[in-house]
Chains A and B, each alone.
Chain A
């Protein structure tokens, strides 16, 4: 299992071979509050680094979900579409959003480590 990386848009990403699993961070869910709706990219579609790849909505507002890397969507997590509250329950585990077949591994280089992200999240929250 490789390391988890993080983006400034509060997504996490785990790479296994050339397959990336992407979700939103616990910090992001705490900022959003109760999530009541999730929309994910279509399987088979291509998404571009830093482009929108879905939407989550809390009772109050909608927020775009971005993808930190480019690639083809090979799987999406239907369980969070059916029950979006699962995202609040286990955002960095069972409630992953989508899986990508990575286009360019070097896109991972600019992402943050856990320590860097925790520091970033703490600073951006204030």
Chain B
């Protein structure tokens, strides 16, 4: 299959991106400054991320749509306000995760943001579950751009006046150069920021304007170190079809009102919520600079294997090697000493709190 290009491909090249194939798209892993500088610039200033490879699924329909979507997703959609977003999951009958996603209530329907590598599979699953009753559109005429970091609100508000009034996990329609765009206050870096859904042909212009105001293009490499410092899961690494949201320590995303209702995997989740899980996702901090990548085995002090790392890197802002992974439940307590097998050696490490890096979002508006 031919590798796809996003609407920002020529801009990536202009700004010196190292392009790699990711989920069928040619994407920037980093630009000239490199991952560490890009990471730090996002934390201290403002970074732009091309996330156009992600899926933007629109579903339109009558009042019954909300009911039918609650049979698919474990979110409380009945109480979702217009333009409000929730983090949720598409699951299989065993409670395993097909994808983690963001659902936003829009006029006459919903917008669901899907992971790039999952989007076509998700679309087929959702369409078949909805049985053709509603208008669905995985819209590839739209790009998705994230702007993240403390200066982003000032920068974007100069170009799109009013966007700074948005609250965390809320969105609205705005106009850019005569064209309708949809902005939500959200992101995946642990920073305040926005995600902008915009027509492909307008994207380059908007991004150039954002760069003019002081933001910089940031690659997927820094996106990965930023999200890992923020303790956020990457689908395919930390989440998969064999892992449930409860095991992934994402119970907060399953509202109480949905525990006794039906959706794929609901009986498994109910059982896990009531009776506990065998494995749990935890943060892990090696005692040395050694980096424990995905698939690194975790041992207890009797040399018994008790789990596996799913993501690991060096955190440029916390200036420490950081990781997360799944351990048997009785090793999930804070400060539990574990050992990571890296290149044949056992490296001491400790179970720690997530996130590794915490920053103030808009105060009082975090509802996660």
Contacts and interface: CB of A to CB of B under 8 A. Distances in A.
Contacts of B39: 59
Given A36-B289, A57-B314, A62-B293, 13 more contacts: A33-B30, A33-B35, A34-B36, A36-B36, A37-B289, A55-B343, A57-B291, A59-B224, A59-B313, A60-B224, A60-B313, A61-B293, A85-B36
A102 to B, nearest CB: 26
A34 B34 contact: yes
Interface residues of A, number: 15
Interface in A96-121: none
B46 interface: no
A39 B316 CA distance: 19
Given A33-B221, A37-B321, A59 B290 contact: no
B225 interface: yes
Interface residues of B, number: 19
Contacts of A34: 34-37
Interface string B211-247: 0000000000100110000000000000000000000
Interface of A: 33-34, 36-37, 39, 55, 57-62, 81, 84-85
Given A33-B30, A33-B221, A60 B291 contact: no
Interface in B26-48: 29-30, 34-37, 39
A98 B336 CA distance: 36
A36 B29 contact: no
Contacts, number: 45
Contacts of B314: 36-37, 57, 59
A85 to B, nearest CB: 8
A114 B155 CA distance: 47
B321 A59 contact: no
Nearest to A34: B36
B259 to A, nearest CB: 39
Contacts of B343: 39, 55
A115 B35 CA distance: 30
Contacts of B35: 33-34, 58-60
Interface in B311-343: 313-314, 316, 321, 343
Nearest to A81: B289
A59 B37 CA distance: 11
Nearest to B37: A34
A36 B36 CA distance: 9
A84 B289 contact: yes
A60 B316 CA distance: 12
B225 A59 contact: yes
